[in-house]
């Protein structure tokens, strides 16, 4: 589902090139729930942008959903994103001049789906916002805005959900509620979920855990404490 081979990202800084990612290798199967933690500036958002086809690596091979992204044109990348990727940002990124329902319908309309409005209503109901469909973002709380953003991310039935600090702008209780919803929709749909978070408790709930530091990605999944089917069966 996600296959990165020796991915490097070097960006131009004010005093010369800065190495952000230095040889990332990653292989993730479809349906995996994974987390990435790491210090601020370690390149977590950059890594998501490369996987989501938003940013191109300086070198290295990126294969996502069976597509080799390196060779795609900008138009092909945009199409790839619309069909396969759902993204959730820390700052919600809703269109302020559109209602909740219009925001959710937008990615479906871009794909020419005639049922976009009806499906937007269903998706908003799924995230518990049936009663807020005609509200504009400024008329919604932070947690509600993030739920609209989640409904929008789910609109085109993405194979991969990329969530970049989705609870970072919310108070703890609201953040937890949004995280529960995120895990629940993932479980229902079986999408691959890549969660970037500073919340270690949240990160620990993911089946595979990674840490990004010094441009390198290290898996920290404990091989013991993970799923223990025998214990479940004993009950």
* Positions in the binding site for Mg ion (CB under 5 A): 45
Report the residue from 6, 29, 30, 41 that binds ligand ATP according to the rule CB under 6 A. 41
Residue 192 contact, options ligand ATP, Mg ion, none, Cβ 5-8 Å cut-off depending on partner type: none
CA 97 to chain centroid, in Å, comes to 24
Are 207 and 32 spatial neighbours (Cβ–Cβ below 8 Å)? yes
Choices 22-30, 39-47, 106-114, 148-156 (CB under 6 A): range interacting with ligand ATP: 39-47
Query: Counting contacts by CB under 6 A, is residue 43 touching ligand ATP?
Result: yes
Q: Which helix (H) or strand (E) holds 6?
A: strand 2-13
Query: Counting contacts by CB under 6 A, is residue 20 touching ligand ATP?
Result: yes
CB-nearer residue toward ligand ATP: 185 or 217 = 217
Report the residue from 40, 73, 172, 224 that binds ligand ATP according to the rule CB under 6 A. 40
Residue 43 contact, options ligand ATP, Mg ion, none, Cβ 5-8 Å cut-off depending on partner type: ligand ATP
Residue 40 contact, options ligand ATP, Mg ion, none, Cβ 5-8 Å cut-off depending on partner type: ligand ATP
CB-nearer residue toward Mg ion: 128 or 168 = 168
Task: Give residue for tokens 């479906």.
Answer: 108
Burial class (CB in 10 A: 0-12, 13-18, 19+), 201: exposed
Q: What is the DSSP letter of 138?
A: G
Task: Tell me the sheet residues that pair with 61.
Answer: 5
Report the residue from 1, 2, 37, 44 that binds ligand ATP according to the rule CB under 6 A. 44
Query: Counting contacts by CB under 6 A, is residue 95 touching ligand ATP?
Result: no
CA end-to-end distance (rounded Å), the chain: 34
Per-residue HEC secondary structure of 45-84 comes to HHHHHHHCCCCCCCEEEEEECCEEHHHCCHHHHHHHHHHH
- The residues that touch ligand ATP, with contacts defined as CB under 6 A, are 11-13, 18, 20, 38, 40-46
């Amino acid at each position: 589902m996600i296959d990165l081979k020796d991915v490097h990202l070097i960006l131009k800084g004010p005093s010369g090139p800065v190495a952000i990612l230095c040889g990332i290798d990653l292989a993730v199967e479809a349906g995996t729930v994974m987390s990435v933690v790491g210090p601020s500036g370690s390149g977590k958002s950059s890594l998501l942008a490369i996987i989501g086809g938003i940013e191109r690596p300086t070198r290295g091979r990126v294969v996502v959903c069976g597509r080799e992204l390196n060779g795609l044109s900008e138009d092909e990348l945009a199409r790839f994103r619309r069909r396969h990727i759902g993204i959730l940002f820390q700052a919600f990124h809703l269109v302020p001049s559109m209602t909740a329902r219009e925001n959710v319908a937008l990615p479906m309309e871009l794909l020419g789906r005639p049922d976009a409005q009806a499906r937007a209503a269903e998706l908003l109901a799924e995230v518990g916002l049936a009663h807020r469909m005609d509200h504009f973002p400024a008329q919604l709380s932070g947690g509600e805005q993030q739920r609209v953003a989640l409904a929008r991310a789910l609109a085109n039935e993405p194979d991969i959900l990329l969530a970049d600090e989705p609870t970072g702008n919310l108070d703890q209780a609201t953040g937890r509620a949004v995280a529960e919803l995120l895990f629940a929709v993932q479980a229902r749909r079986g999408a691959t979920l890549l969660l970037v978070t500073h919340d270690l408790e949240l990160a620990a709930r993911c089946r595979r855990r990674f840490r990004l530091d010094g441009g390198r990605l290290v898996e920290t999944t404990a091989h013991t404490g993970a799923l223990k089917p025998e214990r479940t069966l004993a009950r």
